[in-house]
Amino acid sequence: MSSSEVGYFEKTGYMGPCATYLAGVVAGDGGIYPRGNSWSLALRAFDRDFVEEFRRCAEAVKGESVPKIEEYSPGAPSNPDGKKTKYVFQCGWTRWQEILSGKISDKCRCDWLRGMFDSEGGVEYNLSHSHREISFSNSNLATLKQVKEMLLAEGIQLGKPTRTAKKGDVNYWKGQKFEATKDCFQPRVSGQQNLERFRAKIGFDIQRQQAALEEMLSTYRYRTGVTVAEVVNLRFNQKKAYAEIAQELGCNKSVVYRRLRQAKHREKEAK
């Protein structure tokens, strides 16, 4: 039985939201591998909620039950951060490659980005250095360009990527030797407005990452995006003082002054 996502793909050539999320994950840590006359969709990660969302989307696209998540405890070389359990999902189907190669529609763009950042992203902040960022790593320059363009379409600026590893670099972790097989790059999303837009439009399905994002944004003293209408309403309809308006809207008093000046300027232009 075909799912609504398969029908949508066959009719339009575009992926639905669940297929788009899967494609974003596959562009990161997930994978599609040939397996006889079929394809195997797979993901292995430490966060169960991430793997469960991947499994849920796979089931929605395929339109039938899919295998359950399995658990295993890898050895130290493949488990460098000390976590004990990895969660694994794998599902075979003849149409994975076809459907997950579909076009990405504007309305599903954020689904792809959420899949990519769930897979490769992370929240980093250090208040002593005023450091607040969302970063992600990838070795594919075409993918980095795609992420930048898609974020820009959502009004989010992505910083210039820095190379974090060069092919052939050797690193040691707890006595184990690791050699980089590719150059790896890491761009970042920074700035309060960009980060707030990321939370509003994309976010994380991984609970610990979403919680870290919320905690990071809570460290900003003031909010962005205060509108003229909000300030005018509180000042003239509710008769509140500037300090009261600033406190209620979570902004600086200077923002209140600017919005009222903008309101006055608009009133003059309208006459």
What is the overall mean pLDDT for the chain? 89
User: What are 218's two structure tokens?
Assistant: 């809570």
- 38-82 pLDDT, tens digit each: 999 999 998 999 999 999 999 999 999 999 999 987 654 555 555
Q: Which CATH class is domain 4-99?
A: alpha beta
Residue 74 is predicted with a pLDDT of 60
At 152, is the pLDDT very low, low, confident or very high (cuts 50, 70, 90)?
very high
What is the CA angle 85-97-59, rounded to 5? 55
At 149, is the pLDDT very low, low, confident or very high (cuts 50, 70, 90)?
very high
Domains 4-99 and 120-218 share a fold: yes
Q: What percent of the chain has pLDDT over 70?
A: 92
If one counts every other C-beta atom within 10 angstroms of the C-beta of residue 242, the result is 16
- Cα–Cα distances (Å) from 230 to 66, 108, 193, in that order, read 49, 31, 18
- 190-218 pLDDT, tens digit each: 999 999 999 999 999 999 999 999 999 98
Which CATH number applies to 120-218?
3.10.28.10
Given a cut of 80, whether residue 144 has pLDDT beyond it is yes
Q: Where are the domains of the chain?
A: 4-99, 120-218, 228-270
At 163, is the pLDDT very low, low, confident or very high (cuts 50, 70, 90)?
confident
